[in-house]
């Protein structure tokens, strides 16, 4: 999850749907990735946190999710431990239900996490909230983090402008190896799987949204009260709709190519 839950939050942390130990016997090697296509900079977004909210306006709109191309899985092997769906204790509100706003993927602590698409790094570390679609002023939230020295409670995260009008979000790294402004290509190492922030175990929370999306998610009332966050966030889409074989993988809960219980060497 990309939002910090305070110690006063009575909702239990999200638990993985299935056990992830032993998914992969040894860390897989990362493929060699050549230069990607030029980024579509006509989709550049001037204000990542827009107090007026997302809008369609006269700017060119990004393509529908069904037309997105070039995405790969952030992990080479592993399990889907929590899909994009309504769940008890979810931090966002969609159609009146509490919602998990991305997909959680897990293999083992320290596994290589890859960029899912060509793009430019907008945030890398714990200062990422300006780029994840909050609709409104974040000053009270930042003041709270400063006053209570809570920055280190946030997950290590990376936000990438995918150059197609969308942004990809990765959270809970143990270590991040890219910097703001880096140009990355699909498959490039961006960090290592971890459990920073409020996480039940090592995994990658992967989310995807367009800054020009006209719809919004609500935020759970206790989170708004405890963290002084804006009440709305730009809605996200199901990442499994753009990852290759995503909906088939949802049925098996395995990232394509993953071997269950590989033989011991």
Domains of the chain: which residue ranges? 66-252
Q: Once rounded to an integer, what is the mean pLDDT over residues 235-242? A: 96
- The whole-angstrom separation of Cα 163 and Cα 177 is 20
* Selected residue with higher pLDDT from 111 and 3: 111
Task: Say yes or no to pLDDT of 79 above 70.
Answer: yes
pLDDT on residue 159: 98
Tell me the sheet residues that pair with 149.
none
* Fold classification of 66-252 (topology level): Glucose Permease (Domain IIA) (2.70.70)
Asked if residues 110 and 193 have their Cβ atoms less than 8 Å apart, the reply is yes
Asked if residues 134 and 230 have their Cβ atoms less than 8 Å apart, the reply is yes
pLDDT tens digit sequence for 164-217: 999 999 999 999 999 999 999 999 999 999 999 989 899 999 999 999 888 999
Percent of the chain at pLDDT > 90 equals 71
CA angle in degrees (0–180, nearest 5) for 3-215-209: 55
- Hunting for tokens 């050549």 — which residue is that? 34
Read off the DSSP letter of residue 96.
T
pTM assigned to the model = 0.80
pLDDT on residue 70: 97
pLDDT tens digit sequence for 89-128: 999 999 999 999 999 999 999 999 999 999 999 999 999 9
Structure tokens at 220: 């759970």
pLDDT tens digit sequence for 37-51: 344 444 444 444 454
Structure tokens at 241: 């709709």
Task: Say yes or no to pLDDT of 8 above 70.
Answer: no
Asked if residues 201 and 19 have their Cβ atoms less than 8 Å apart, the reply is no
- Hunting for tokens 């030029």 — which residue is that? 38
Q: What is the DSSP string of 196-224?
A: -SS-SSSBEEEEEE-TT-S-EEEE-HHHH
Structure tokens at 225: 């009260």
Asked if residues 174 and 89 have their Cβ atoms less than 8 Å apart, the reply is no
Structure tokens at 260: 């269950």
Asked if residues 206 and 158 have their Cβ atoms less than 8 Å apart, the reply is no
Task: Say yes or no to pLDDT of 53 above 60.
Answer: no
Q: Which of 1, 10, 2 is nearest to 226 (CA)?
A: 10
């Amino acid at each position: 999850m990309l939002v910090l839950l305070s110690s006063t939050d009575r909702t239990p942390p999200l638990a993985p749907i299935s056990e992830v130990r032993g998914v992969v016997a040894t860390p897989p090697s990362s493929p060699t990735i050549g230069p990607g296509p030029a980024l579509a900079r006509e989709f550049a977004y001037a204000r990542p946190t827009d107090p007026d909210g997302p809008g369609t306006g006269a700017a060119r709109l990004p393509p529908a999710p069904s037309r997105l191309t070039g995405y790969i899985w952030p992990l080479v092997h592993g399990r889907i431990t929590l899909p994009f769906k309504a769940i008890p204790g979810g931090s966002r509100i969609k159609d009146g239900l509490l919602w998990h706003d991305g997909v959680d993927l897990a293999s083992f602590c320290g596994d290589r996490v890859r960029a899912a698409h060509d793009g430019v790094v907008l945030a890398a570390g714990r200062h990422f909230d300006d780029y994840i679609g909050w609709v409104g002023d974040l000053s009270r939230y930042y003041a709270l983090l400063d006053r209570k020295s809570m920055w280190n409670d946030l997950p290590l995260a990376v936000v990438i402008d995918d150059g197609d009008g969308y942004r990809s979000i990765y959270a809970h790294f143990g270590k991040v190896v890219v910097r703001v402004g880096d140009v990355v290509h699909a498959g490039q190492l961006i960090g290592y799987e971890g459990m920073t922030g409020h996480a039940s175990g090592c995994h990658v929370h992967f989310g995807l949204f367009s800054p020009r999306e006209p719809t919004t998610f609500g935020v759970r009332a206790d989170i708004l009260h405890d963290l002084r966050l804006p009440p709305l966030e730009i809605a996200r889409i199901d990442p499994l709709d753009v990852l290759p074989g995503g909906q088939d993988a949802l049925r098996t809960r395995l990232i394509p190519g993953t071997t269950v219980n590989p033989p011991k060497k």
